[in-house]
Amino acid sequence: MRNKKTNTQKKVNLDGLTNVITIDVEQRGKPSIKNSPKPKTEAEKSRRTYRKVTKDTAVKADSVQKKAVSKPLSTSTKKTKTPKEPQRKTPVRIIPLGGLNEIGKNFTCIECANDIVIVDCGMAFPDAELPGVDIVLPDFSYVEKNIDRVRGMVITHGHEDHIGGIPYFLRKMNIPIYATRLTIGLIEGKLKEHGLLESAKLNVVTPRQTVKFGCMAVEFIRVNHSIPDACGMAFHTPAGVIVHTGDFKVDYTPIEGGIIDLARLAELGNKGVLALMSDSTNAERPGYTMTERKVGESFTKLFGMADGKRIIIATFASNIHRIQQIVDNAVKTGRRVAVSGRSMVNVIGKSIELGYLKVPDGIIVDIESINRYAPDKLVIVTTGSQGEPMSALSRISNGMHKQVSVTPDDFIIISATPIPGNEKHVTKVVNELMKSGAEVVYEGMYEVHVSGHACQEELKLILSLTKPKFFIPVHGEYKHLKKHASLALSLGIPESNIIIANIGNVIESDGVDMKITGTVPAGRVFVDGLGVGDVGSIVLRDRKLLAEDGLIIAVATIDSTTNEILSGPDIVSRGFVYVRESEELMTEAQKILYDTLQSCLDSHTREWNVMKNKMKESLSSYIYSKTKRSPMILPVIMEV
């Protein structure tokens, strides 16, 4: 690159990398594709090296021989040379802003010199502690303040916890995004819903392709996961190579595509890996993760058991490999496939369009037309494997689905494991389905689900292949990160070289050391409806209070001339007690409020805030003494 800014930066070692896309730092968002010089054959390299070495060696040997003849032998003892200090290089910084000590909202910055590359931009679903919140995003404020240094965003795969935050990010900062074909297709669907597709800068890459961003180059490496086209990455920086696995497993017999590129990971390990950032989701599970083909074998058995019945299968919309196996079994047994659930319809449509899902003509039928088919000629694929209240399967279970009603002729398979926290929702759905007479199969009864994340032996394999100097476990709660760290320790990585970080930590390395050197703003941003970031801790506290103890509104009217109470105080209760059944409590509460208000007027107190606070304090004290509850109290004073 010719711009001045790049000339001052240290070169990135790109030996062995081909098909490199170079980003011009001065023209961010306008990549120029440059074909790398054709690599020389080993024979050519050998001949060139032989000529150079032979000539140099001959000159050096002749010189040494002359010195040996003319110089007498010395009996003095040679001084021991002081070891040279290891060479420190341009520092690289790793700044995780999501995905550590939590599941979801993965978002990480890798930066060196004047360049920042973002890895993933995900979201998380709210837990019970966040009433009314729709989704949770990472805090983008650090990136906003440094947007002039951001060169692009690279995405590991198309799951919501890795791409769900992209529309909200692009509303503020429109930067180039690089990902594989299916991942870009799923991102396009999300951006279209948000009206952002036309302005987006989306770029398709393939495994083993490298994109150069200023002082660093990002190499995409194929991995296996529960969605096709997943990639890990190698960041080639002046300080060394940082390998980021993304979400992965090792599947030697994948349904579609190649196996994880262990050869490239081993090659990087042999050349030297500065740091490994590895998926910790299943770090507590011993052994290996089963191949996805095991689920297909179970489907074949279960389809045979469902003779004469309609089959309904709930699974994750993004698990294209599983849906492919459902389609294959449907074709073998002469069934049509109907799809229910908006996300399922969108993902299947995009996967068929891009060729990742192979479906014979006429197999997919509209959900509106399912009554035309006999039960034993139909399979319904639906969302809702986590028992989400508004999902298609939940609506089917409670009789609210417009097209599907459960009958004893239904054979239902829930092809997923409940995410921690969703167990009660899933159990409720299963119970309701069984009450309707359906036969329900779920994990634990048959092998109808396998994880998309690596277990301990696979994690150790990646550690052994890459041989990192430093190790940073990522993607998991603290217990997962800690267990993954212990696996690395068992393989000989020194404890001092293992970093368990928090979001917002700045992890810095100059190629010699790696340590946490500071923090940047990090946290959670809540999306509620169309509002982004307008729900904070105070709003959530009020929502919890309202949900737990309800609300009391006390209304009084005062004559501004005579300082007399003209009406009230009247009490309105919502979510606290039913007034008609608690007349004695409400009557006494009104009397206390009247006395408090009158006392304020008698003492010539006219500041509304003071009067409201006294009303609130007196009523709160009385209510708690009688009920041991603390409802939200909202005093209202009107002056006429």
What residues are annotated to the active site?
A: 279, 453
Respond yes or no on whether the N-terminal peptide bond of residue 569 is cis (omega within 30° of 0): yes
Eight-class DSSP state of 380: E
Alpha carbons 290 and 249: distance in angstroms, whole number: 9
377 three-class SS: helix
Spacing of C-alpha 187 from chain mean position: 14
Q: How far apart are CA 472 and CA 493, in angstroms?
A: 11
Using CA atoms, how far apart are residues 137 and 524, in angstroms rounded to an integer? 6
Token pair of 103 as six digits: 């599941």
Q: Please, where are the H alpha helices in 12-164?
A: 42-70, 141-145, 160-163
Q: CA separation (Å) from 256 to 321, 471, 615?
A: 7, 31, 68
> How is the beta sheet containing 632-639 ordered, strand by strand?
565-574, 551-558, 632-639
Inter-residue contact 158 to 227 (CB < 8 Å)? yes
User: Could you tell me the two tokens for 530?
Assistant: 């169309």
Quote the tokens at residue 283. 């770090």
**DSSP reduced 3-state for 95:** strand
Burial level of 431, CB count in 10 A (0-12/13-18/19+)?
Answer: exposed
Query: How many angstroms separate the CA atoms of 567 and 558, rounded?
Result: 7
Sheet with 468-474, strands from edge to edge, namely 32-33, 20-23, 210-213, 216-222, 231-237, 240-244, 273-279, 468-474
Q: Are strands 565-574 and 240-244 parallel, antiparallel or unpaired?
A: unpaired
Determine the Cα–Cα distance for residues 145 and 118; give it in Å rounded to an integer. 14
What distances in angstroms separate CA 352 from CA 321, 327, 346, 549, 562, one per listed residue?
12, 12, 10, 50, 78
Tokens of 152: 């692009």
What does the block give as tokens for 471? 């190790």
Residue type, 461: L
**What six digits make up the tokens of 516?**
């946490």
Residue given tokens 């997923």 in the structure block: 416
CA angle 602, 606, 607 (to 5 degrees): 135
- Residue 66 to residue 54: CA distance in whole angstroms: 19
CA separation for the pair 462, 71 (Å, rounded): 55
Is the distance from CB of 144 to CB of 172 less than 8 angstroms? yes
Residue 223 parent element (H or E): none
Per the CB < 8 A criterion, the answer to whether 338 and 367 are in contact is yes
Sheet of strand 410-414, all strands in order from the earlier edge strand to the far edge:
364-365, 336-340, 378-382, 310-314, 410-414, 439-442
